[in-house]
Structure 1
Amino acid sequence: MIPEGSSHMQYDDKNQTSAALPQRWVFKRNCALTPRQLLSWYLSLCALTLVIASGFAIMGFWIVLPFAGLELLLVGIAFVIYARHAADYEAIELRPGHLRLEWAHGSKLTEIEWPPQWTQLSYNGRYKAPLVISHRGQQVKMGKFIAEKDKSSLHLQIRAALARAAYSV
């Protein structure tokens, strides 16, 4: 969970909060390698494997080369599947009078904007339960990348920010 700007609250001289700045929460996968790092690692793996397999082929064990190629093909397919979803994320952005939800899954980016006055946030507290944001019959489930121990406090934090954004129009 990466709370971008969750502390973006300004304080005026009277020590009251002002919701003039947007608040944004971004939830991402916990990935060890970016797709670019993965590609460079895979290319180095290919080079090393082909050098070793070529050495065996030169010594007369030619059967090693096709199996090395098959191995690299299967590892490459697995890495493509991994890299396609490595950059997935969910984001919630609150501005005075606006709630914006966006999420990326693979190459698909979806965005929704709703007024916070008519938007509800619910969370039932069960294990693996999502945060449900609803507006006039539409429901969006978020929180796939949030640690279970953080969901309850995040629910309260976003709910309070949602109330502030709804009343600061």
Structure 2
Amino acid sequence: MRPNCSLSPAGRRGFLFLIAIVTFAIALAFAWAGAWLVLPFAGLELGVLVWAFRELDRHAADYEVISIRGDTVAVERRVGSRVTRHEFNRYWVRLVLKRDAAGELALCLRSHGREVVLGRCLAAQARAALAQELRNHFNN
């Protein structure tokens, strides 16, 4: 599973460049008219946008892979630059649906006091479909 990234990195940079040109053109027009205080706020706005786009770039390659091989269920997840891997025994692992802090249904694999949340980037319907697919694999 991967998050949906509608813009490529080059597209994001181009969009940010376009926003920067428009913002600074408007800010310079106001500064020329005597409202020079608009310039620092335009710079602050662009700084926040650059930070937000860098966060998007950092998480664009995030993924979650669930593999079931023999008696092992493995979940490998990349968030930012950190990759984690969790392995469970297929016959002891339980699929659990619970409410998270935001009130959304969270899909979890649980075994021996360890728990891994699955499908964070999925919509509720896709998460339910994933739960059904995993139930089919665990019941076989």
Structure 1: stretches of 5+ with no match in the other structure:
1-25, 165-169
Deviation at 1:36, TM superposition (A): 4.1
* Aligned residues: CA RMSD: 3.1
Say which one has the larger Rg.
Answer: 1
How many angstroms apart in 2 are the aligned matches of 1:37 and 1:162?
42
> Would the alpha carbon gap of residues 144 and 61 (structure 1) be closer, same or farther in structure 2, given more than 3 Å must change?
same
Q: How does 1:142-153 map to 2 (within 5 A)?
A: 142-153=118-129
Q: How does 1:15-164 map to 2 (within 5 A)?
A: 26=1, 28-51=2-25, 53-54=27-28, 59=32, 61=34, 63=36, 64-123=38-97, 128-164=104-140
Deviates more, 1:148-157 or 1:101-110: 148-157
Using structure 2 for the length normalisation, give the TM-score.
0.71
Gaps of 5+ in 2: none
State the shift of 1:101 in Å: 0.2
TM-score by length of 1: 0.61
SS in 2 for 1:161: helix
* Count of equivalent residues: 137
1:34, 1:86 within 8 Å by CA — same for their partners in 2? no
C-alpha separation in 2, matches of 1:149 and 1:125: 15
Q: Distance in 2 between matches of 1:125 and 1:69?
A: 41
SS at match of 1:146: coil
Percentage of matched positions with identical amino acids: 31
Question: What displacement does 1:133 show?
Answer: 0.7
